[in-house]
Amino acid sequence: HMLQVHQIPCLSDNYGYLIHDDDSGMTATIDTPEVAPINEALKQKGWRLTHILNTHHHFDHAGGNLELKEQWDCTIIGSGPDADRIPGIDTKVDDGDEFLFGDHSVKVFDVSGHTIGHIAFHFADSDILFSGDALFSLGCGRLFEGTPAQMWQSLSKLIKLPDSTIVYCAHEYTQANAAFALSVEPENEALQARSKEIDELRASGKPTVPSLLGLEKATNPFLRPTSPDLQRNLGLQGADLTEVFAETRRRKDNF
Under the rule (CB under 5 A), what is the footprint of Fe ion?
A: 60, 133
- Closest distance to Fe ion from the beta carbon of 26 (Å): 25
Residue 110 binds which entry of Fe ion, Zn ion, none, CB below 5-8 Å type-dependent: none
Q: Nearer to Fe ion by C-beta: 21 or 60?
A: 60
Residue 247 binds which entry of Zn ion, Fe ion, none, CB below 5-8 Å type-dependent: none
Residue 51 binds which entry of Zn ion, Fe ion, none, CB below 5-8 Å type-dependent: none
- Active-site residue numbers? 56, 58, 60-61, 114, 133, 171
- What is the C-alpha to C-alpha distance for residues 134 and 55, in angstroms, rounded to an integer? 9
- What is the C-alpha to C-alpha distance for residues 67 and 83, in angstroms, rounded to an integer? 18
- Closest distance to Fe ion from the beta carbon of 177 (Å): 14
- Closest distance to Fe ion from the beta carbon of 103 (Å): 30
Integer Rg of the chain from CA: 18
Residue 20 binds which entry of Fe ion, Zn ion, none, CB below 5-8 Å type-dependent: none
Dihedral (Cα; 115, 132, 150, 160), 10-degree rounding = 160
Q: Nearer to Zn ion by C-beta: 58 or 249?
A: 58
- Closest distance to Fe ion from the beta carbon of 120 (Å): 13
Q: Nearer to Fe ion by C-beta: 63 or 81?
A: 63
β-bridge partners, 20: 4, 27
Q: Nearer to Fe ion by C-beta: 62 or 93?
A: 62
- What is the C-alpha to C-alpha distance for residues 203 and 89, in angstroms, rounded to an integer? 39
Instruction: Count Cβ atoms within 10 A of the Cβ of residue 81 and give its class: 0-12 exposed, 13-18 middle, 19 or more buried.
Output: middle
- Closest distance to Fe ion from the beta carbon of 31 (Å): 8
Residue 31 binds which entry of Fe ion, Zn ion, none, CB below 5-8 Å type-dependent: none
Q: Nearer to Zn ion by C-beta: 20 or 58?
A: 58
Residues of the shown chain interacting with Zn ion in the complex, contacts defined by CB under 5 A: 58, 133
